Structure 1
């Protein structure tokens, strides 16, 4: 968890329960709140000019949602939508900034978290330019595993479906299914009850 729930609540944060498909914010909205996921999953996506959805990230328990935009004067470039029943903690931007000012170690933790997220995002973007589907898939899986405390082999349960993985990598679902089977044979990942582990 990025910031302890008790600390957020002590600054007046609220807990909000969302249903599947509920929108937290949409592309073009002005960032006004800090969001942290208590339980559930949220996708960040963008629709291109052809109306095709590109999933940029799937966030889960403990992750914050587009917190970096609270530090700059820009609109959201993505939509944030719950993809299952989800509970989030929300805190007004001004109060969030006060929390950071009054808790320097938390501010440093967020800087470190943002730096790590950007680093692995660059790696994933590099992999997404590859013509090899398995390279794209590995890049996306490594990016999401990078936020897990346990980095041992097969310790991370991939928190999205093959279809979502296709939208993240810009591949067809059928291609992802074939590559996942190939990567399992190569012992890069494991499939247990249809769930992918890396």
Structure 2
């Protein structure tokens, strides 16, 4: 979902720059801003009681960050951590709501986008309950590729490391690596210089 930057700026948005490792917001904080990524990548994560990281998503250019929480009175259930140097446009919650009220077409587009994301999340969660590692990985691949307009085979570079894929799927890194090699032999993915293309 890309809301036009000039529209966001006309409602008082600011552009902010972040370095890798910067924290945009922490789990437990109240949402106060709409964030849209101009460049770079941001991960949404959570740490379990043993301190193990669970990555829920890695967001990139054009995507918004936890915008759905601006519509309810809940705190963030995740951390938003900058994955690589990023440029983000940031609009206050009150101005975001005002913008949607005054631009029903943008509000409709946002509702459609949120519905698509929720649908893909359901599919990914369903796949993550599978006992088969290939089903889990393909669920993550499908979810990430769903944000790309190019649906051709091998057209999408998976923006995740093997470790991150393991964290997203609850698999061991060794199982993830082994399964990706099997998927490559089955011509489901292509590996080029260590990058996974789906």
User: Taking structure 1 as the reference length, what is the TM-score of the superposition?
Assistant: 0.98
Deviation at 1:160, TM superposition (A): 1.3
Equivalence for 2:183: 183
Q: Partners of 1:55 and 1:109 in 2: how far apart?
A: 27
Equivalence for 1:42: 42
Equivalence for 1:95: 95
May I ask how many residue pairs the two structures share in their alignment?
198
Q: Partners of 1:140 and 1:79 in 2: how far apart?
A: 20
Equivalence for 1:136: 136
Deviation at 1:145, TM superposition (A): 0.7
SS in structure 2 at match of 1:84: strand
Q: Partners of 1:3 and 1:171 in 2: how far apart?
A: 35
Q: Partners of 2:36 and 2:86 in 1: how far apart?
A: 11
SS in structure 1 at match of 2:176: helix
Instruction: Within 5 Å, give how 1:115-134 maps onto structure 2.
Output: 115-134=115-134
Instruction: Within 5 Å, give how 1:42-191 maps onto structure 2.
Output: 42-191=42-191
Structure 1 residue ranges without an equivalent (≥5):
none
Q: Spell out, residue by residue over 1:58-116, the C-alpha distance to the aligned partner (whole angstroms, 9 max, x if none).
A: 10010000000000000000000001111110000000011111111110010000000
Q: Partners of 2:57 and 2:99 in 1: how far apart?
A: 26
- Where do 4+ consecutive residues of structure 1 move more than 6 Å? none
Deviation at 1:153, TM superposition (A): 1.2
RMSD: 0.8
Equivalence for 2:24: 24
After alignment, is 17-26 or 173-182 more displaced? 173-182
Q: Partners of 2:155 and 2:8 in 1: how far apart?
A: 29
Task: Determine whether 1:3 maps to 2:3.
Answer: yes
Q: Partners of 2:5 and 2:156 in 1: how far apart?
A: 23
SS in structure 2 at match of 1:21: coil
Deviation at 1:172, TM superposition (A): 1.2
